[in-house]
Structure 1
């Protein structure tokens, strides 16, 4: 994943949403915190990995596909939901970075997949 950018959805400018922090909003009806990102998948990536590893690392889940008709595209925009602190850490960690999985050899000689954020 590359070219990771925070986006502000039009729905965040309605009374249903209140701003908690820079690019983090709370849906007052559902009492959930959300943020949205756009990013580009690299040639060897699919829409599952490394995205799933990021979700696990930051305790988040995808609450919406911004443009569901382009799910098969290399350019995705997604809404993420989670604890506000986890969302803050997530945004600080990935905005403007490159995120990918890399195979590494463990001390036991086995091959493992490691999430890299650079």
Structure 2
């Protein structure tokens, strides 16, 4: 994933969302914090990986697919991620403007493992 940018959604103007800071909103109905991203998948990436590893690293979940049809057919995705405030803040600090991908490596036991790389 590359070209990761934070975006604002019109739905955040709704009374169900309370602005917290820097594009982070509290979803009052669901009692969690959210932010929206646009990103570009790289060659040989799909909408599952490395996104799922990113979600696991920061204890986040996809709370909304902005354009669900594009999610399965496009290399450019827009989605809303949610979680606890501290996790949302850490994710934003760590991923905006970065490149994120999975890299394989061989462990001391000779087995192949995958690690998430943020650069």
Which residue of 2 is the match for residue 79 of structure 1? Answer: 80
SS of residue matched to 1:115: strand
Q: Distance in 1 between matches of 2:30 and 2:2?
A: 31
Which residue of 1 is the match for residue 106 of structure 2? Answer: 105
Residue 2 of structure 1, CA deviation: 0.2
Matches within 5 A, 1:14-93: 14-71=14-71, 72-93=73-94
Residue 31 of structure 1, CA deviation: 1.6
Gaps of 5+ in 1: none
TM-score (ref. length: structure 2): 0.95
SS of residue matched to 1:91: helix
Q: Distance in 2 between matches of 1:65 and 1:103?
A: 28
Residue 107 of structure 1, CA deviation: 1.5
Aligned pair count reads: 118
Runs of 4+ in structure 1 deviating by more than 2 angstroms, as ranges, are none
Query: How well do the aligned residues superpose, as a CA RMSD in angstroms?
Result: 0.8
Gaps of 5+ in 2: none
Q: Distance in 1 between matches of 2:54 and 2:26?
A: 21
TM-score (ref. length: structure 1): 0.96
Q: Distance in 2 between matches of 1:29 and 1:76?
A: 25
Q: Distance in 2 between matches of 1:65 and 1:57?
A: 20
Residue 54 of structure 1, CA deviation: 0.5
